[in-house]
Amino acid sequence: MLDEVQTILVVDDHPLMRKGIVQLIAMEPSLRLIGEARDGQQGVELAHRLQPDLILLDLNMHGLSGMEVLKAIKAADLDTRVIILTVSDSEEDVVTALRLGADGYLLKDMEPEEVLHSLKVAAQGRTALGERVTAILADALRRESQPKPLNEVKLTEREREILALIAVGDSNKLIARKLKITEGTVKVHVKHLLRKLDLASRVEAAVWAVRHGFRA
């Protein structure tokens, strides 16, 4: 259930940053810290062993980078949502992380209350993006791709329903629950949607859907 306490693993090679994040998580009763990793390799090992609901992951770490950790976790198909928490507002990092399957991207200069709110959003099965990150992503998409206009896209009624839910940031699991279909069926529909829209990720599909007025 979405109202259950959500477990979190923090992966960051800065002890002071980890301490601050741990203190922040302790302020929220719906979140529970179950592990801390001091580097990427330990992060991957703990992710497999603890299987947390959420992983809060730094990008720039010694040894195994955050991007490599993200790839490893997504390749393992763990039922875990990965939220990037980094100092990098580089367009390349934002786009790469989201295309690799990150479920959120937050910046370390955000207010603590904003970070906490974003973690709660992620815990509800939605995509968590900081305000500045959303603007960076929108700018990147405008420049590097020319998605099809609405009148050129033929979507089924079910695809429209799913696209509207993607637009508000719902995960596949949450969409499946709302539409009373299996998560596997949602994944197939999302794959078809991305192909029809000529897009590479569900986050890009969400931006496209919002621009074209799709609402759940």
Residue 118 burial (CB < 10 Å; 0-12/13-18/19+)?
A: buried
The answer to whether residues 58 and 113 belong to one domain is yes
pLDDT in tens, the chain (216 residues): 445 889 999 999 999 999 999 999 999 899 999 999 999 999 999 999 999 999 999 999 989 999 999 999 999 988 899 999 999 999 889 989 988 889 999 999 999 999 999 998 888 888 888 888 888 887 777 666 555 666 678 889 999 999 999 988 888 888 999 999 999 999 999 999 988 888 878 878 887 887 777 765
Q: How many helices (H) and strands (E) does the chain have?
A: 10, 6
Do strands 81-86 and 104-107 pair parallel, antiparallel, or not at all (unpaired)? Answer: parallel
Range of the domain at 106: 6-141
Residue pair 183/173 in contact (Cβ under 8 Å)? The answer is: yes
Residue pair 87/107 in contact (Cβ under 8 Å)? The answer is: yes
Q: Which 3-state string (H, E, C) describes 87-115?
A: CCCCHHHHHHHHHCCCCEEEECCCCHHHH
Q: What are the beta bridge partners of residue 32?
A: 7
The answer to whether residues 43 and 113 belong to one domain is yes
CA–CA distance, 186 with 65 (Å, rounded to integer): 31
CA–CA distance, 46 with 199 (Å, rounded to integer): 33
Q: How many domains does the chain have?
A: 2
The answer to whether residues 11 and 77 belong to one domain is yes
Say what the alpha-carbon torsion angle 95, 114, 127, 182 is, to the nearest 10 degrees.
160
The answer to whether residues 185 and 87 belong to one domain is no
Task: Name the pTM for this structure.
Answer: 0.74
Query: Is 186 part of any domain?
Result: yes
